[in-house]
Chains A and B, each alone.
Chain A
Amino acid sequence: MWKRVLFVCLVAAMSAFAQEGHPLSGTWTGNWGQGTGSRNHITLVMNWDGDKVTGVMNPGPDSASLNVLVDYANWTVHLDAQSKDTAGKAVRIEAEGKIEDMGSPRRRLVGSWRQDGVAGDFKVTREQ
């Protein structure tokens, strides 16, 4: 048991070393919501292919493709995606964020989130 715990900790620690390539590439996890009320978990997986940043929100059966635009002058990021709610209804998601603490292995993307007419804020941290 203890070996397993140690192994998981070591793997987690190793993965915290920085990725020094495109700052958006990698897996980001966090949540969005309104204030301190109930928050909704989100996972964003983004990749720089040499021409554009591609991405997926919440990978798996309910995933949604992300359109990602980056303004490199100030490291602001625009995200939009077409997702579905639990009833299968199309839901549009738009977010505006800014990369914070960019040199850190666990940099953050923080900003505003609008989903199906509900406005809130979001914060995701780079996990990879």
Chain B
Amino acid sequence: MKADRLHVVMIAGLVFLLLSTPTPAQRSFTTTYDSNRKVTLEGIVTKVDWVNPRAFLFMNVRDGGGNLANWAVEFGSPLDLEKNGWKATSLKIGDVLTVEGVLARGEARQASATSVVLKGAGRRLFVPQPRRPAVAAAPAPRWPNGHVRLGPPPGSKGYWGAPGTKVLVENIPAKPAMNDDGLLANIADIDKVAPFKPWARALYEFRQRTLLRDDPLGRCLPPGGPRQFQMPYGFQFIEQPELGRILVLLGGGNRNWRIINTDGRPAASASEAVASYYGTSVGKWEGDTLVVDSVGFTEKFWMTAGGLPHTEALHLIERFSRPNLNTLRYDVTVDDPRTYTRRWSGGWTVQWVPDEELQEYFCEENADPAFNR
């Protein structure tokens, strides 16, 4: 009996440790890799790890001194690779490869491949297919009552895919230069990002200077706020007018979903709403634009790549419009008087991916390549 209890306490302790340790599960490219450190590796494949969100191959590489070491090489997302016709079997254990890429920060034997070539055959692997030429955009589909449909036209499939930008900054003429991870090209441009209060500016600068290493998304927490529309694997609207709601299904956020109530209820107040990653949302149509008012956000997420902070006072006003079949326009007004000196707005467009469904994506699958060694 005592041994049973000891077992339970040990297991519980292990669960606690696993859950409470902020494992850097899916750090951004910027946090993980140093683009200035190029590497060429020649070696033999020992393992292929074809899991979301990042596929890894492991290879034995002999250094100049003749010593053999095992390297982890990231070479893309299985979802993207499969779209381009590649499979887990495109590479076999024992294949001899030449890999060019960039090194991980620090001392880890890890690289992100920019080129993978099968030695001998000289064949380049995992090359993306040329993009399909854009077709002339048809008008936005509509419901019988005249409202724009945010989902696919009747009888067809599709979802919203790649966003026009992966970062949220204020709509100003001279936007600051950033990479896709939200890292400013020039740290002196902080004040062009948003009208920060001093604490928020200092915190944003800290996050930038530490290369976004503490991003909660890296621990596979949900992409709350506007970030849900900037994830790599898209989203989909399921409109249910008979139930007075619109569901937003997220392809890039561990199959999360969000509910926008359209049944005419009044907007919630932040003090009444239970704090959550996606907030409590009420939407209504203003002409061809769906206007969504959301409050009740937890402080446990970054609302965009790059580390914009917020508090539980966050109030978002989102505007969705569909000027044509292929384009969704997303505009958001950020209203958080504890974090920003005034309301401010940003936005982007998102492209329609026709004839396809959202694919399965779970952040945790290969939480850390070290686990797979």
A-to-B contact residues, CB < 8 Å: 1-2, 5-6, 8-10, 12-14, 16-23, 25, 48-50, 70, 72-73, 75, 102-105
Contacts and interface: CB of A to CB of B under 8 A. Distances in A.
Main secondary structure of the interface of A (DSSP, over half): loop
Closest 10 CB pairs of A and B: A103-B214, A13-B19, A21-B299, A50-B338, A16-B20, A2-B8, A72-B202, A9-B12, A9-B16, A21-B311
Contact of B19 (A2, A10, A50, A73): A10
A68 to B, nearest CB: 12
Contacts, number: 95
Residue from the set A6, A14, A50, A103 with the largest chain B CB neighbour count within 10 Å: A103
Nearest to A75: B202
Residue from the set B12, B201, B312 with the largest chain A CB neighbour count within 10 Å: B12
B207 interface: yes
Contacts of B207: 103
Contact of B198 (A21, A25, A72): A72
A6 B199 CA distance: 38
Nearest to A22: B199
A50 B313 contact: yes
A38 to B, nearest CB: 29
Contacts of A103: 206-207, 210, 213-214
A70 to B, nearest CB: 7
Given A12-B16, A13-B15, A21 B309 contact: yes
Contacts of A21: 299, 309-312, 338-339
Given A16-B20, A25-B311, 19 more contacts: A2-B8, A5-B8, A10-B15, A12-B16, A13-B15, A13-B16, A16-B19, A16-B22, A17-B221, A18-B214, A19-B300, A20-B300, A21-B310, A22-B199, A25-B299, A72-B198, A72-B202, A103-B207, A104-B214
A72 B190 CA distance: 15
Interface of B: 4-5, 8-9, 11-13, 15-16, 18-20, 22, 197-199, 201-203, 206-207, 210, 213-214, 216, 219, 221, 299-302, 309-313, 337-339
B19 A14 contact: yes
A17 B199 CA distance: 21
Contacts of A9: 12-13, 15-16
B15 A2 contact: no
Nearest to A70: B199
A2 B18 CA distance: 18
A48 B299 CA distance: 12
A18 B202 contact: no
Residue from the set B13, B201, B311 with the largest chain A CB neighbour count within 10 Å: B311
Contact of A18 (B5, B15, B22, B313): B22
B8 A17 contact: no
A20 B5 contact: no
A6 B221 contact: no
Given A5-B12, A6-B15, A48-B338, A18 B300 contact: yes
A21 B206 CA distance: 13
Nearest to B310: A21
Nearest to B12: A9
A20 B9 contact: no
A17 B300 contact: yes
